[in-house]
Amino acid sequence: MVEKMNDKLNFIDERQKRRYEKVLQKTGEEYLQEIAILKSREDFLEEYEYFLQLLDSPFSARKLQMRVEKPLAGLFCIQAPFEIFDAFDLHPVKLCGGSHTVQRLAASYLPVLMCPMLKSFMGNFDLQQESFADYRAVILPTTCDWVVKLPEIMQQDTENVHYLELPHLKETEKSQSRWLEEIFCLKQLLEKITGKK
């Protein structure tokens, strides 16, 4: 009985490994196609080569951290000002991205109607075997219920996660005051995490 269970687990592991390899290959092909399209444009400049090198393979936090030689801060939105991360010597990274191909890795255990952007993000995390621990801080906006539940869905530790509670209206004085309060809370978290004032 135990041998049969082990054989079944080995089969599942091999099948999953082949699936990951196939997705990795397909994702690499997607990136190469997109880069070829960009390079064929008339307005393409040699200066863009640096950025294309960043895109030549699926995103990996560990690879980027080695390249920039700074701790990373993962962001799901641009509402948190980049200057605050620079002040704490953190490299901000926009997390919500990926490709259609990597969505397949996460689709089997996620609801069908879940946001495709988050499926892609989670699929890429699965593919790269990353976690929120690869980031000094992860900033999640409360604008989407899926994003709020993301650490729980992904079974991630929330020690370095900060929820940025963004007001839905931007024009009112109350909303602007609330946003400023949220940025001060973010500053306090980053002070605590980095040990810098």
Domain extent, residue 35, equals 1-57
SS3 79: coil
Axis crossing angle, helix 2-39 with helix 100-107, rounded to the nearest 10:
160
How confident is the model over 69-120, as pLDDT tens digits?
899 998 887 778 889 999 999 999 888 766 777 777 777 778 888 888 888 8
Can you read off the two tokens belonging to residue 146? 């899926």
Residues 169, 77, single domain; the answer is: yes
Task: Indicate which CATH number applies to the domain containing 173.
Answer: 3.40.50.11890
Residues 112, 193, single domain; the answer is: yes
As for how many domains the chain has, the answer is: 2
pTM of structure: 0.73
With tokens 């993301």, the residue in question is 150
Q: Which of 58, 56, 147, 141 is nearest to 98 (CA)?
A: 58
With tokens 């973010």, the residue in question is 186
SS3 15: helix
